[in-house]
Structure 1
Amino acid sequence: MHPAGAALPLLALLAANGTRVLRCVCTHTAVLKAVDGPFALSAGEHVMWSKYCNAPRRYYLHGSCETLDPPSVAVPAVARLVPHRNYEWPPPPPPPPPQPGSEEGWRCANGVVGLRSLGIDEAYQLVEDIQCRVAADCIDSCSARGLADMEWNVETLKTDHLRNTILAQLLHAVRSTTKAIDERVICYVGRALRLLHVNGTALEDIMAAHRELLSSNLRDAAQLFSLGATYLSQLVVPLAFEHMGNHTTHQRLDGWIKDMERVRDMLDRKLKDWVHDMHSVLEQIPTYKIEEDKNGTEEYLIRLPLLSHRLLIYHVPQLSFREDFGALCKEQQPQASQMFGLTDALYTFFRTFWFQHVLGASFHYVNTVEEEWQLEDRSNATLYVDTGCMQLLANALDHPTCPLEDLPPEATEQRERCRVQLWNDMVQRSPYLPVTSYLAYTQRAKVNLCLLAWMAANSFSICQDVPFSMLRSVHDARCYFDSPDHQSCLGSNATDAICSVSRAILFMKCRDFFSLKPAEKCLVGLHADGSYVKMFNQMWREGDFEADGKPTEITLSYKDSLNNATLKYKDFKIDSLKLLEISFIAVNILFRFLAAGVYMYLPHLRNLPGKIFLCFQITGIIQILCSEVVYRMAGVPDVSTAVLIDSALTLLGCIWLNSFCYQMYACIRHLRLPNDLRPAEARKVFCCQALYALISWSVVCAASIALEKTSKYYLFHSRIILLVGISLSIAFNLICLGLVGYMYLRNRNSMRQLKIYSKNKFGSKKDVLFMSVKTVILSGIGVIIRIGFHQAQGIAQFVYYVHIATMMQGPVLFVFFICNGTTLPLLRDRVLGWFNPDAVGPGRELCSAAERNLARMRKELSLPAESSF
């Protein structure tokens, strides 16, 4: 008879009621072996005993010695999760004779009889079929009904029979899941070995059969992982209570439960990351290809795509919750170290006995070839990101918060906003962003790409509450690097994309940013009866990967350089020079208003150049009010809009200087003084000049706004347009002033050739100083110097000094444009006239008002004649 022919009826008999009938049969076999000796077992019973009932499986828990050494509660708690033997020992007392209708007893008795009649081949077939059915049976029967969303409270935990009942169901579910995973792995390995070493079978048939076998194995494993992860997370609270919380006072138990539930949620998030990745691996199985291994020792090999199970090695092998948060949360919860240590141990149990066991066996017996991601090392790549968000990342690492504390809603919203902002900055992929204003300098920070990835993906950072899927991270990173203009291929949303891509960049493309490994770890043996024994300490093997460990020296040096160069100036500015800065801003605004008032008050300054210079002053006042008062002190508008306004007003100020310098050139070119124009003609020319200035300014600003507001990809181009506009405007000023100087030198040389000499010099030293400073101000060289400082990295404090120095522009303009030999005496006389109306100033010595009016009329009549001449 074919082996399967006798095994199948017995399989149907033993598989009923889950594993209870099998346990009964195994217990009967154990008693027979103990009483009559191993030779009393038949061939079928011997195979059943050695391959299923007493199949050895050792369980070892490894982790940091601090977590596992006594008086740690992690080891005794996790020891309770080890599956029991498939038989009861010592055996229970003999049951009474089966009662009519006792289905289970009848099946056990018939199973024992049927097993004794099997031959070796039939018994092996029976055991393999049982092992292959355990997983499916567990998926249907191992669940603890109604406990998936269990919420613990004081009454449930304090009531022993309620707590013990629920805990027993959860422990049974986890133990059964572990046993089912063990048996499913043995089933898969046996079938895979036979399949891959069958001679005379077409490669296509082997490939299809193995792919189906692998998919079936991983599909069952994924369902078991998903089921077991839920109950493993639910075990955190009752296990912790029995091993550390049962002495907590009734008054403090509410807070203790709340803290433990947060620890449970942290573990659940980590476990669900593995489950999500396993389902992602299942989606990739159809793309696995099997081919002949011509160079290897195996007969066949599997060619893996990039998104394969091999990416799961980048999951952290051990949690570091205890190391990261134990001391940090001690004030919030005195038992925090024990809480996090238990969580770390449960995670290690999950990863080692479930995932690592399944994945290691699934591909252990065949060679694999991986697809390489053709992307160079990114350790030296840089880009520009939002300074405020970088400051948030730095603060999260320098001053981490305990995850058991309640974060204010504003902090959570700020983290989400920064994740979106940093992703937008990363999408722009700009290694350099031109700075057109001081606000732009404070807005952008040049950062190393790998440093940004490390700061974002760190345990303390803004991504700690974002689920982690390694396959999705690599998929998103590949989309980011290979399809820069098509972000629709991302698997993550805009809020989580920075976290997803950062993890893949850090783990796979940043060789200088690998984390340090702990010096040693401990190994503890766990037994089926709940006992345990410490085995030994062992060093980390080469190849172990600790993703969330301590940063390397290179990482810390990058972070320190970022703090010193770009971020520290914010604290420096606010803490040390805030009062000085406010004082300079106030003085600047005051003197600009005084200068503008003088130009509006004195008649001889209300000529064409005076009106243009007045527009320059008003523009400067508006710029200071917008950038230094409204934004810096009121916080509106947003920083990007404030930068755009500040840059646009800087450009407008330069354009007003263009008009002023052109008027200087036109006056000397046509040998005409500014006061020669009649008021009506001066107004007409000024309107034309203002129209030309505003049209050119509007065109540049409209182009910048359209680029920046249409898409964030064009922020770089927007800043370039403004920077080019400012540079061209200043270049025009320099050309005009250069032409004025050239014409002066040419006229002086011409007068010398005509032998026309004068005893009067060009001016005194004071006049030369005034003219030199005015030339520098009118040329806009100071604007170029200020913007040049903004482009530099690593000199943030000096940039701030320059920024404060520019606040003295108001007093400088007042001194050099008002306090001269022409304007200041006239202003003084007009001010003194308020107090003494009868006083006669210089040039006003005529006898009566009638004579003064007659002189003014004669002067006005003589101007047209001179002009026509």
Structure 2
Amino acid sequence: MSAEGVAAWLLALLAANGTSMFDCFCNQSANRELSYSEEVIGLDYCSSHRFYSLFEICLKPGPAPAWMAAVARLVPVNSGLELPQPELEGRWATGDEGCGGVLAAIHELSWEEAIELACHLVCRIPADCIDTCSLQGLNDTEWNAESLTADHVRRPVLSQLVNAVQRITTAIVASRRCDDYQYIHFGADTSNRTALKAKVQVRLESFSTYWRNSAQLFSLGVTYISQLFIPLAFEHMGNHTNDQQLHEWVKNMKHLRNILDTKLRGWLHDVQAVSELIMNYKIEEEKDQPGNFVLSEPHLYDEVLDYHEQQLFLRDNFSALCENQQPQASQMFGLADALYSVYRSFRFNTLQTLPYAITNTIDEAWQLEDQSNATLNVDTDCMQLLANALDHPTCPLEELPPETIKQRQQCRVQLWDDMVQRRPHIPVTSYLAYTQRANVNLCLLAWMTANSLSICQDVPFSITQSVRDARCYFDTPNNQSCLESKVTDAICSVSRAILLLKCSDFYSSERVKHCSVGLILETKDRYGSLKYISYDERRPTRTTLNYKDSLNRATLKYKNFKIDFLKPLEISFIAVNFVFRLLTAAVYVYLPVLRNLPGKIFLSFQITGIIQILCSEVVYRMTGVPDLPTIVLIDSSLTLLSCIWLNTFCYQMYACVRHLRLPNDLLPAEASEVFRRQVLYALMPWIIACTVCTAFEKTSNYYLIHSRVIFLVCISLSVAFNLLCLGLAGYLFIRNRNSLQQLKISTNNKFASKKQLVFMSVKAVILSGIGVIIRIGLHQAEGIAQLVYYVHIATMVQGPLLFVFFICNESTLPVLKNRLLALWYPDIIVPGQELCSSAERNLANRINVQFPTAEISL
């Protein structure tokens, strides 16, 4: 047979029978001298599928872990090596149609013909596997203690699955080799550009076919990896477990299988997404430069796979957490990491540069903008949940309570809602409002959300979907219909893309030290062996260590918005504040001299403060009713009402100085009528502001900032009005005093003592409401929970201050003391009552230069 006839015969044999006819060549050529053609076939077809690598954390010196032997069983072998040597010799005859004929024919091939045959052999492997590697009837296998311990059930199924995974793994690697051949033989002639365009189009189609076939094979491999995970682990690390522990072992392995399947499904989604998008590659002629062709490549598609996580690190992250629950946790997690690494280590070809083709990426500029300094306003309960999840991670093998799962899902929805609306800083009008919302760095939020210990463990990590979702988020923030992820998964997907592509200060690609582990096929071992063949240690740089430390420190400020060890102190201050406010209100009700118009207004201010304490600090803290947003609305509205009462009080002070009229000059009926009118004036703007804020806040969370701005503006205007009234009152007093001095009117009585000046100054500060603005301003110190908590505790001293400066003065305290003494000792004669007639007492009051009641009211 001529050389051309030999090559044609081998190709015909390959087309008719597949690659199985050539497997004996690999076995027969192991220990003999080969010709050039045999070396080509041996190198390209036989040797290229016997070595696979994975990346693992370097093991400590000692015995090899059990998972190494388990992974070694998945090393692909040629079908011919699965049979004993005598059976091989019997199966392959020495005639022209048998192994001897194949060996002789390959020996006669030229170098070029051997390369062509090797190309056809390698390309036939994935094609055959797509048709024959799929298994039927194994999807319903439910692994439990009974089925695992039954050898006649477990071993046949595991054998089929292992064999299928071996063939699929071989086919995936062969598919890449086949595409390499396609590129090598591309050899485009640049002289004829029309022919070049057609040839490039053929190359694009073959490249698309390569990705599509690889994705199909990869899907099968992921399916079977998940199915064989439990029986494979049982044979190598679970078969010595006693019956009592076996049920718990199977339960934990099912959880771990679901985790592995979730991780592999994310990688599979990426491969499938790229295979679909590569079909959109187009070659077009440039309009400005006829004869030059442009290859339009979709945005990042195959290159973005480099951002995908290369290792799981389940063993390092969770082994210690799960030791109590499962003593073999380290081995179990090691097997999951290794199986993931085997499939994740497959490298897929990219489209190499084509002649006269300029690769353009579409809309790539969006990813170049660094978002490391961007901030976002989010729900603090969810931030607390993220911080707690990172600070106190749980073993993933545990079954989380349904309420915990529901809480995590609700937080994912809430955080996504916050991210979509991109709320800026929301003004804080109370301490409760501070505990409701928090400003967080966007990249830090993405890191806390997408961390492997956080709330996204059950969401597959697909970098291609994350990129799509992130582009949707950044390009069309008000229209999220383009998102592929579910609402409950969107925050996880977008956070991963933000962290990888937009946070240069928060993401580091440095890895801890790792070793390259080779899976090597040896003929003496049917399943092959697994050994360390190279050692590649990359220690984390100082920059990486500082980066990780900064992230851990950054999350600390979102922990414990309530400081536990300060809780007794807080309760004590709240109780003291409530008691003294109640005492102050009781004194104003008890003393007739304080029941004038300013006294009634001040009493309304006190009652409002008491109600605010009862609602915010007692009822809500004890029962949790109503919900936090509602109680924040109530607390803010009562703060505004307190400021409005101060407005009315300060206006009465200004009116008294302006008209030179004392509060007691009004008759009781007239005072009551004026008070009712003042109450109406105070409640009207308060009701309007509260109604508008409630409407904004209850309509949609998006309008939350509007309600807070309205409250803050109203409180600020109220305080400004207080300052204006107090300033006008002071100005009028100074002007009147100067006028009296010009009239040469003099007196020996001083204006006031130093103690009285201090009391009046402190009263003016309290009545001005400056303390409310200072407290709100300090509450804006986002991220420093302990400082804001101290401010909150400090505001609880307002009750004692009001009692001291409004009751314990030289005018009110003696009156109160005399009234109380009169209750205990009815016969005692108090000062001012020793005269024998009311006429004399009235005369004494008229000539008295001091007016205690006027001073009390002012």
TM-score by length of 1: 0.85
Shift of 1:32: 7.8
Report whether the alignment pairs 1:806 with 2:795. Answer: yes
Q: Secondary structure at the match of 2:801?
A: helix
Counterpart of 1:763, as a letter, is: A
CA deviation vs aligned residue, 1:703-747 (integer Å, no higher than 9, x gap)? 333333333333333322222211111111011001111111111
Displacement of 1:285 after TM fit?
A: 2.0
How far the C-alpha of 1:847 sits from its partner, in A, is 7.0
Partner of 1:26: 22
- 2:752 alignment counterpart: 763
**Higher mean displacement: 732-741 or 466-475:** 466-475
Residue type matched to 1:142 in 2?
Answer: C
Contact preservation (8 Å) 2:446, 2:498? yes
Q: Which residue number in structure 2 is paired with residue 159 of structure 1?
A: 150
Residue 83 of structure 1, aligned match among 76, 82, 97:
76
Question: Residue 271 of structure 1 corresponds to which residue in structure 2?
Answer: 264
User: Deviation at 1:166?
Assistant: 1.0
Amino acid corresponding to residue 396 of structure 2 in structure 1 = P
Q: What residue identity is the alignment partner of 2:676?
A: C
Aligned with residue 751 of structure 1, among 733, 740, 750:
740
Q: Distance in 2 between matches of 1:82 and 1:292?
A: 47
Deviates more, 1:187-196 or 1:698-707: 187-196
Cα offset for 1:270? 0.8
1:582-622 C-alpha deviation (Å, 9 max, x unpaired): 12211221222222233233333333222221221111111
**1:407 corresponds to 2:407:** no
CA distance in 2, matches of 1:799, 1:648: 20
Counterpart mapping for 1:159-178 below 5 A:
159-178=150-169
Q: Matched residue of 2:323: which SS?
A: coil
Residue 71 and residue 12 in structure 1: after superposition, are their counterparts in 2 closer, same or farther (change >3 A)? closer
Equivalent residue letter for 1:531: G
Residue in structure 2 matched with residue 342 of structure 1 by the alignment: 335
Following TM superposition, by how much is the alpha carbon of 1:474 offset from its aligned partner in structure 2, in angstroms?
1.4
What residue in structure 2 maps to residue 13 of structure 1?
A: 16
What is the SS of the residue equivalent to 1:484? coil
Correspondence 1:433-452 to 2 at 5 A = 433-452=426-445
Structure 1 residues 676 and 94: alpha-carbon distance in aligned structure 2, compared to 1, 3 A threshold: closer
Give 1:786-865 correspondences, 5 Å limit: 786-793=775-782, 796-835=785-824
1:427 aligns with 2:416: no
The aligned counterpart of 1:865 is none
Alignment partners' CA distance in 2, 1:67 and 1:370: 45
**2:849 match:** none
Distance 1:566 1:765, change over 3 A: farther
Report the equivalent of 1:141: 132
SS at match of 2:322: coil
Q: What's 2:480 paired with?
A: 487
C-alpha deviation, 1:228, in angstroms: 0.9
The change in CA–CA distance for 1:392 and 1:113 in structure 2 (over 3 A counts) is closer
CA RMSD of the aligned region, Å? 4.0
The Cα shift of 1:219 comes to 1.7
Measured in 1, the distance between the counterparts of 2:319 and 2:212 equals 37
For 1:798 and 1:96, the matched residues in 2 are separated by: 85
More deviation in 769-778 or 210-219?
210-219
Matching residue of 1:639: 628
Helix, strand or coil at the partner of 2:135:
coil
Moved more, 205-214 or 222-231: 205-214
Instruction: Give yes or no for the alignment of 1:531 onto 2:528.
Output: yes
Q: Deviations over 1:227-285 (max 9, x none)?
A: 11011122221222211222111221111111222222111111000111122223322
Conserved in 1, the CA contact under 8 Å of 2:57 and 2:513? no
Q: Per the alignment, do residues 645 and 32 of structure 1 end up closer, same or farther by CA in structure 2, a change over 3 Å counting?
A: closer
Aligned to 1:180: 171
Partner of 1:456: 449
> Is contact 1:517–1:550 with CA below 8 Å preserved after alignment?
no
Give the letter for the 2:667 counterpart: R
Distance 1:244 1:796, change over 3 A: closer
> Does structure 2 conserve the Cα–Cα contact (< 8 Å) formed by 1:513 and 1:554?
yes
How far apart in 1 are the matches of 2:790 and 2:320? 41
The answer to whether the 8 A contact 2:95-2:101 is kept is: no
Structure 1 stretch displaced more, 148-157 or 239-248: 148-157
Question: Kindly tell me: are residues 203 and 677 of structure 1, through their superposed partners in 2, closer, same or farther at Cα, counting changes over 3 Å?
Answer: farther
Quick check: 1:574 aligned with 2:564? yes
- Please give the secondary structure, in 2, of the residue aligned with 1:197: coil
Whether 1:517 and 2:508 are equivalent positions in the alignment is no
Cα separation, 2, equivalents of 1:255 and 1:219: 40
Distance in 1, matches of 2:659 and 2:616, equals 40
Partner SS, residue 365 of structure 2: coil
Letter of the structure 2 residue corresponding to residue 154 of structure 1: A
Letter in 2 for 1:141: T
Q: Distance in 2 between matches of 1:584 and 1:745?
A: 39
Q: 1:672 to 1:14 in 2, by over 3 A?
A: same
* Amino acid in structure 2 at the alignment position of 1:314: Y
Residue in 2 aligned with 1:221?
A: 214
Identical aligned residues as a percent:
56
1:251 lines up with 2:251 in the alignment: no
Match of 1:776 in 2: 765
Q: What CA distance in whole angstroms lies between the structure 1 residues aligned with 2:6 and 2:186?
A: 18
Q: Is 1:674 aligned with 2:635? A: no
Give yes or no for contact 2:133–2:167 (8 Å, CA) kept in 1.
Answer: yes
- Measure, in 1, the Cα distance between the counterparts of 2:206 and 2:532: 37
Local SS of the residue matching 2:440: strand
SS in structure 1 opposite 2:724? helix
Which residue of structure 2 lines up, in the alignment, with residue 325 of structure 1?
318
**Alpha-carbon offset, residue 124 of structure 1:** 7.2
State the secondary structure of the residue aligned to 1:552.
Answer: helix
Q: Secondary structure at the match of 1:467?
A: coil
Asked whether the equivalents of residues 25 and 102 of structure 2 are also in contact (C-alpha less than 8 Å), the reply is no
Is 1:317–1:348's contact at 8 Å kept on the other side of the alignment? yes
Among residues 388, 404, 420, which one is paired with 1:395 in the alignment?
388
Most deviating of 195-204 and 152-161: 195-204
Residue identity matched to 2:564? I
Q: Of residues 27, 36, 52 in structure 2, which corresponds to 1:59?
A: 52
Q: Which of 159, 180, 184 in structure 2 is aligned with 1:189?
A: 180
